């Protein structure tokens, strides 16, 4: 596993790409708490804080990054996608309540107190000027967003526990599931004292987040790795405050009704 192999932030399915159409968001202009209620009634976020849950997260990552979007070698006999950054990362799982199936995962790579300059994968691909800008952040409270994954196969597994109606709901809930994973990101950040995020994003995914009022600042030019990726960063408080102003229903999901961030 190479150092650069962990830089893939997200690969988007057809539903995600369709979400770039502003009309897709029309159904989310709801009372602030209604969207959160919808999320909570269908999904749950679990911390991957046991060996079994970490293994589940790595299975989802393998499915997404080695099978569905093969940017990594599918050479792990156990069907797990693992790298060195797992040793200092917090991870979460997106769970479908009715089937109890894990549909997605997200990783937050935490800073190494004794090695702040080499804590994150993105630090290895930045030019000197961009690296100086990143190092100007409070690195002790900065973390890198990584392995944002929702698996098509795992969605189908959920259907084996439910009805065609259940599968139809899951397949039409990509935007809600992504908001849920972002809630997991906020929760992990609060629990670990993280004030700033960095990432290397596919530009299309960055535009998708921007359409949700989740905006990151570019960190230097695009870099080439399995296609163009945009290094970027943002202050957690600034990002969430912008979402609260522009998309209060989204903010309610991201912050669990304000319980995670006020």
Q: Which residue has the higher pLDDT, 36 or 9?
A: 36
Q: How crowded is residue 9: how many other Cβ atoms within 10 Å of its Cβ?
A: 22
pLDDT of 95 > 90? The answer is yes
Amino acid 173: pLDDT: 78
Q: What's the mean pLDDT in 145-172?
A: 66
Amino acid 262: pLDDT: 76
Q: Which element (helix H / strand E) includes 132?
A: helix 128-135
pLDDT of 187 > 80? The answer is yes
Q: Are 86 and 146 in contact (CB under 8 A)?
A: no
Amino acid 56: pLDDT: 96
Question: Which of 68-77, 96-105, 249-258 is least confident?
Answer: 68-77
* pLDDT above 70 as % of the chain: 76
pLDDT of 49 > 60? The answer is yes
Amino acid 172: pLDDT: 64
pLDDT of 25 > 60? The answer is no
For residue 258, what are its two tokens? 């304000």
Amino acid 9: pLDDT: 37
Q: What's the mean pLDDT in 70-91?
A: 82
Domains of the chain with bracketed CATH: 3-254 (3.40.630.30)
According to DSSP, residue 227 is labeled S
Amino acid 195: pLDDT: 98
pLDDT band at 155, cuts 50/70/90? low
Q: Are 102 and 93 in contact (CB under 8 A)?
A: yes
What are the two backbone dihedrals, phi and then psi, of residue 76, each rounded to the nearest 5 degrees? -95, 115
Amino acid 65: pLDDT: 86
* pLDDT above 90 as % of the chain: 65
pLDDT band at 72, cuts 50/70/90? low
Q: Are 184 and 106 in contact (CB under 8 A)?
A: yes
Q: How crowded is residue 12: how many other Cβ atoms within 10 Å of its Cβ?
A: 19
């Amino acid at each position: 596993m190479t150092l650069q192999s962990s830089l893939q932030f997200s690969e988007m399915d057809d539903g995600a790409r369709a979400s770039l159409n502003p009309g897709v968001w029309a159904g989310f202009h709801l009372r602030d708490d209604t969207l959160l209620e919808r999320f909570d009634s269908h999904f749950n976020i679990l911390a991957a804080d046991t060996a079994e849950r970490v293994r589940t997260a790595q299975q989802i990552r393998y499915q997404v990054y080695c099978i569905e979007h093969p940017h990594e070698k599918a050479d792990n006999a156990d069907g797990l996608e693992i790298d060195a950054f797992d040793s200092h990362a917090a991870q979460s799982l997106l769970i479908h309540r009715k089937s109890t199936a894990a549909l997605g995962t997200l990783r937050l790579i935490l800073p190494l107190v004794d090695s702040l300059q080499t804590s994150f994968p993105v630090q290895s691909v930045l030019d000197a000027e961009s690296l100086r800008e990143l190092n100007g952040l409070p690195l002790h409270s900065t973390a890198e967003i990584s392995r944002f994954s929702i698996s098509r196969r795992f969605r189908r597994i959920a259907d084996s526990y439910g009805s065609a109606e259940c599968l139809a709901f899951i397949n039409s809930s990509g935007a809600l599931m992504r908001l849920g994973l972002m809630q997991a990101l906020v929760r992990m950040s609060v629990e670990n004292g993280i004030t700033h995020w960095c990432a290397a994003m596919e530009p299309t995914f960055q535009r998708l987040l921007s359409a949700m009022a989740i905006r990151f600042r570019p960190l230097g030019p695009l870099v080439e790795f399995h296609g163009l990726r945009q290094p970027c960063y943002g202050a957690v408080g600034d990002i969430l405050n912008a979402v609260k102003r522009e998309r209060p229903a989204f903010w309610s999901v991201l912050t669990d009704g304000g319980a995670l961030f006020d």
